[in-house]
Amino acid sequence: MPAVAQSGSTIRVRLADGFDFPVGKPDADGFYKARGYWPNGHLGEDWNGRGGGDTDLGAPIYSIGRGVVIFSQNIGVGWGNCILVRHIFREADGKVAMVDSLYGHLHERKVKLHDLVEKGQLVGTMGGNNGMYPVHLHLEVRKNLQIGMNRSSFARDSSNYYSPTAFINARRVLPSSMQKYSVPVNNFAPYGRALADTNSDGSSTASVDVPAFKGGSGTGKDDSKQEDDFWSRLKAKMRNGQTTDATDEKR
């Protein structure tokens, strides 16, 4: 369901009523985590099908919760097809918060910029960045709404990121209503450019009111070499059948 960006670069979105896993909905049935989250290391989770090899190519990828698409592009390099969805939700203490979920290395993107999506809605299909990696989904959940596709500009720790499985398991069911809230969009820089008031498509936009955030920034480094080394190790690990339980919070 498409939405038009409102004045001030916001879109009205209902609160998420809970979060589910992005594969094998709702409990990641048929999938496992080949690689988990840890601060200053891997900033998300890599999900694979239990069929082995690249048998999960084209498997459906679902939005973990209700939200609005704030990025949908193929930027190549180590990312390939990527989608970012912004979610607004009410925490157990009553506070309204926002997070971004990232779905990386997709074979196909099924939603476009500023689409409104529901929990469990198809947003893409599983890929491997055109053969660069073994087929899998890279999932991230970000606290910092300004990261976008520029991870190297931000601290690689839990000041900016959630462990996706821990985040989802703690918020499977949340209170919601028909009320809509203004969600900021277009508030991060395009890939490879300095943070500025620019749209996801690279054009300029007016400044927006982003919720106050006390996360770390400016301390990240380019991790492309680390990723290359990792994938050579992961291929061997996958061949040996080393996995983690899908919905348990493990590294």
**Tens of pLDDT along 47-70?**
999 998 899 999 999 999 999 999
Amino acid at 250: K
Quick check: 138 and 235 in contact, CB under 8 A?
A: no
Kindly report the backbone phi and psi dihedral angles of residue 148, in degrees, each rounded to the nearest multiple of 5, phi listed first: 55, -130
246 pLDDT higher than 80: no
Among residues 107, 99, 109, 31, the alpha carbon closest in space to that of 65 is found at: 99
Confidence at residue 193, expressed as pLDDT on a 0 to 100 scale: 72
Longest CA span, the chain: 53
Give the mean model confidence (pLDDT) for residues 157-175: 97
Residue with tokens 């506070």: 95
Q: Which residues contact 202 (CB under 8 A, 6 or more apart)?
A: 190, 193
202 pLDDT higher than 80: no
Quick check: 237 and 33 in contact, CB under 8 A?
A: no
Confidence at residue 196, expressed as pLDDT on a 0 to 100 scale: 43
Give the mean model confidence (pLDDT) for residues 26-33: 94
Rg (CA), the chain: 17
Lowest mean pLDDT among 86-90, 126-130, 240-244: 240-244
Task: State how far the Cα of 72 lies from the Cα of 114, in Å rounded to an integer.
Answer: 9
Quick check: 98 and 188 in contact, CB under 8 A?
A: no
Confidence at residue 53, expressed as pLDDT on a 0 to 100 scale: 87
Residue 31 or 250, more confident: 31
Quick check: 211 and 99 in contact, CB under 8 A?
A: no
222 pLDDT higher than 90: no
User: pTM of this prediction?
Assistant: 0.80
216 pLDDT higher than 60: no
Helices (H), the chain: 164-169, 224-239
